[in-house]
Every structure is written in C-alpha cells, then in structure tokens.
C-alpha cells in the first residue's frame, strides 16, 4: 500500500537504519506523537516559536504519509487514509493558530489508534 522510497529518504537523511517499510510507517506515526507532545509542552510554556516548530514537524510527517500512499494498490484504504491525514493536518494548523491543546489531543488520539492498528496488522517482531 505504501511506496517506501520517499519515506525511506526522510530517515536515510538522518542516517537511521530502516529495517522494513512496516517499521518505517510505525516510526512516522511515533514521530507525529512525539512532536505533538513537544508542541503541547510549548503551548503550556507559551513558547510560540517552539509550538510552530513542533507542529510543523508533525505536519511534515503527515504530508509525507499522504505522499507515499499507493492509491493503485491501496484502493479504498489509501483513499480513506488520505482524507484522514489531510483532516489531521487541518487540525494541527488550527492547533497552531489558536494554541489549542484539545486539537493536538484529537490528532494524538487518531495517531495512537493508527499506530496500534498498524502494529496489530503488520505483526512485525522488532
């Protein structure tokens, strides 16, 4: 369902070894959660620069997730994920503009669910 070349380049630039495309997707989902936690802390600390930085990092990951969707092989699932990812980008944008922790929480809930489902369906032992 995913083309791993584009996503692989994200981590290859950072010299991180990718064990498999499934592990890469897991790492991307974890990255969104990690960056959102930092953004939430920045909101609490009233640090505008860090809030924008961390939310933009999350948006960049989700944008990459949209870009690597394989609509030919993924069919309806790829279409659904594309819409979901784009909605999450909208929520992150609103969270950034309005200092809205609740929007970050909403995105986190979705990505926690995606991460759990991904781990369950890939059932990859690391």
* Per-residue model confidence as pLDDT tens digits over 69-96: 988 888 899 999 999 999 999 999 999 9
pLDDT tier for residue 7 given thresholds of 50, 70 and 90? low
Which is nearest to 107 in space by CA: 34, 26, 36? 36
pLDDT of 54: 97
Element (H, E) at 76: helix 71-98
Q: What is the pLDDT of residues 19-75, one digit of tens each?
A: 688 889 999 999 999 999 999 999 999 999 999 999 999 999 999 999 999 888 888
Superfamily of domain 4-12+19-122: Flagellar protein FliS (1.20.120.340)
pLDDT of 47: 96
- Give the whole-angstrom CA distance, residue 55 versus residue 32: 9
φ and ψ at residue 2, rounded to 5 degrees: -115, 145
- Give the whole-angstrom CA distance, residue 25 versus residue 85: 13
- Give the whole-angstrom CA distance, residue 60 versus residue 88: 12
Q: In a 3-state reduction of DSSP, which class is residue 124?
A: coil
């Amino acid at each position: 369902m995913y083309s791993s070349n584009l996503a692989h380049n994200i981590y290859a630039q950072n010299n991180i070894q990718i064990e498999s495309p499934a592990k890469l997707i897991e790492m991307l989902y974890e990255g969104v959660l990690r960056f959102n936690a930092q953004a939430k802390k920045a909101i609490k600390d009233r640090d505008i620069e860090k809030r924008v930085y961390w939310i933009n990092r999350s948006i960049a990951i989700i944008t990459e997730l949209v870009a690597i969707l394989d609509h030919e092989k993924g069919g309806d699932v790829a279409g659904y994920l594309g819409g979901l990812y784009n909605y999450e980008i909208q929520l992150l944008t609103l969270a950034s503009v309005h200092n809205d922790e609740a929007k970050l929480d909403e995105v986190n809930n979705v990505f926690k669910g995606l991460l759990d489902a991904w781990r369950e369906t890939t059932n990859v032992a690391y």
